[in-house]
Structure 1
């Protein structure tokens, strides 16, 4: 099913959306997560979409900036951040940045 969706997205010129719809938990997909790094056990609870958002926010992006970059609404970013904070047991962006460090 995902392969069929990939073909449709490619034909429509919406390749960025293909990455956003992938909800495979980080660390369960083929190969290393993100930019060639291995996921830590805590990060493996995050989906690929959550991990992308967490990395953007920990790098200093505001909710509005992250929403624009990921083609999401600000409300979606807020909801995902809430889930990310719960999964990683953090309460702030600073703690999130620390949790993402190798």
Structure 2
């Protein structure tokens, strides 16, 4: 049964797949592909900063800045939600991820 999933869930799964495949895969400019929920998804490395709908800025260099100006530096395995929230691997595991 295929169910609808949020974009955050899809991004989290894609990032997890990238981490499982190793850093050598992430180093290249080629997109990666993942089968999820019966659909093929394409994931490419970021080439420019992205500003989310709520004003948070996700930088391709590995930082997230909220709309108040607080900056967090991401570590391998960290996931950024559509609202700019950062979840670490330990937090994902605690939430059933």
Would you say same fold, with TM above 0.5?
no
Structure 1 or 2: more strand by fraction:
2
Structure 1 or 2: more helix by fraction:
1
